[in-house]
Amino acid sequence: MSLFIKSNKAKPLSEPLLNSLFQYAMSLSNHRDNAYDLLQSALEKYLSRLQQPGTTIDNPQAFLQTLIRNQFIDQYRYQQRWPSETFEEFASYDISPLSLEQLAIDTDSLQRIWRQLSPQDRDILYHWAILGYSTDEACELLGMARGTFLSRIHRLRKQLNTKPIDKAPGTKEPSS
Amino acid sequence: MSQLDNRQPPSLKAQVQSQIAGEQLSRDQLQHLMAMQNRINNKHAEKTAIKSHAGKYWATSIAASLLVLVAVVSLWTPITSRPSLPNDLTLNQSALHKQIAMEVVKNHIKLKPLDIQTQSITEIQQFFKQLDFSPISSQQLNKLPAPSALTTQQLLGGRYCSIKGVTAAQLRYQQSNHGLSTLYQVGYDAKLFGNMPVSERGEPAQDLFVQGLEVSMWVEKGLLMVLVANPK
């Protein structure tokens, strides 16, 4: 996000963008009312910030996603829904080179498991599946050590109990 | 994004996209948020017009007052010798070491499951492929006084961790008195971890106590070693 000197005219966010932000809030909280509160609160802060003289925000979506995420962490950390330890460790037995790109799962299984995933796991999946970030990009964005992220992916694989997608003849391996 | 092949089972990515896209704001919620935006924008637009004129007057007055205040203070404040400042470098190093010690002790106490169980340092090195370095069998461990001395026979295994955000290896050892020791290894960066004693120069490890545990830190073969154990 960069700040430039400009007149402070706030353009209303569109309905598709509001829905996209709501989906991100849902990815974290997995609770409709909480997600709506997160979005509303973040939107108020965004509009307030925008009204400060000389402020403009080039990427409202990224800015608001950061606000939503930070609010979620602050609000739910005390409930231990977002560990506050400085480095996170998760049980994993093997860091396989198999990437998320190569995994398949049926709808019912994902829906069943989705609510059991931690907010951090859903955050990772959101950044990977919706925003299209690679592993390294997501690590840097979420401020997560690469080893931690890889451990989470491995744990997700075991939790999702996924199987590799059968490759058609001549299909190239996705780049890691 | 990967293309879906109809002949293949649904990909995890497509299913996650579908799962997330299934969540939508209700019509009432959307209308409420749009109305909120318009209300806040209109309110601030009104305030900006009023404040603009008044603000210029007050800004000028305040600036003039501050100038007068600075002039008065500079004329009347006696010149005193600059108080001696603590050694900032020493304070920073000490604080850094304490931070690292607290981080590793916290993790040592949690005792999370090992990623790999083995007594072989070779298997450890083969397992930790995601590190920017290769873990070593520290020569300093068997030099520790009993019962703290550790050999590879007492190695239990390892797991990934991190120190100050840098991916590290955590090796767990069984002490001869049945306690557990944890040795963290990470690529040494003086800017990140502060100055540390180097074992190859014969410098003794930096020791400190946190939550009843002894934390020893040193650099060996370019790696920062941090050992957490019961006090000797």
Contacts with A15 from chain B: Cβ below 8 Å: 25, 30, 34
User: Considering chain B, what is the average pLDDT of its residues?
Assistant: 80
> Phi and psi at residue B93, in whole multiples of 5°?
-60, -45
Q: Determine whether the interchain pair A146/B34 forms a contact, defined as Cβ–Cβ distance below 8 Å.
A: no
- pLDDT per position as a tens digit, A97-140: 446 676 777 777 788 778 878 888 888 889 888 988 876 777 77
How many Cβ pairs closer than 8 A exist between chain A and B?
A: 162
- pLDDT per position as a tens digit, B6-44: 556 688 888 889 899 999 999 999 999 999 898 887 877
Chain B closest-CA separation from residue A157 CA (Å):
10
**Residues B11/A103, Cβ–Cβ less than 8 Å:** yes
Using the predicted structure, report yes or no on whether residue B84 has a pLDDT greater than 50.
no
> Phi and psi at residue B217, in whole multiples of 5°?
-130, 135
Residue B101: predicted pLDDT = 92
**E strands in chain B:** 116-117, 155-163, 166-174, 180-187, 206-210, 213-220, 223-229
Q: Determine whether the interchain pair B163/A87 forms a contact, defined as Cβ–Cβ distance below 8 Å.
A: yes
Of A43, A90, A107, the CB nearest to B15: A107
Contacts with A124 from chain B: Cβ below 8 Å: none
- pLDDT per position as a tens digit, B135-153: 998 988 877 666 566 776 6
- pLDDT per position as a tens digit, B86-143: 444 555 788 889 889 988 998 888 777 788 888 888 989 988 877 878 999 898 887 7
Of B5, B25, B161, the CB nearest to A89: B161
> Phi and psi at residue A170, in whole multiples of 5°?
85, 0
Chain B closest-CA separation from residue A82 CA (Å):
16
Q: Determine whether the interchain pair B166/A145 forms a contact, defined as Cβ–Cβ distance below 8 Å.
A: yes
What single letter denotes the amino acid at residue A174?
Answer: P
Of A58, A61, A94, whose CA–CA distance to B117 is shortest?
A94
Of A147, A79, A94, whose CA–CA distance to B157 is shortest?
A94
- pLDDT per position as a tens digit, A23-42: 999 999 999 999 999 999 99
Using the predicted structure, report yes or no on whether residue B85 has a pLDDT greater than 80.
no
Q: Determine whether the interchain pair A128/B13 forms a contact, defined as Cβ–Cβ distance below 8 Å.
A: yes
Of A22, A104, A147, the CB nearest to B12: A104
**Paired sense of beta strands B166-174 and B223-229, if any:** unpaired
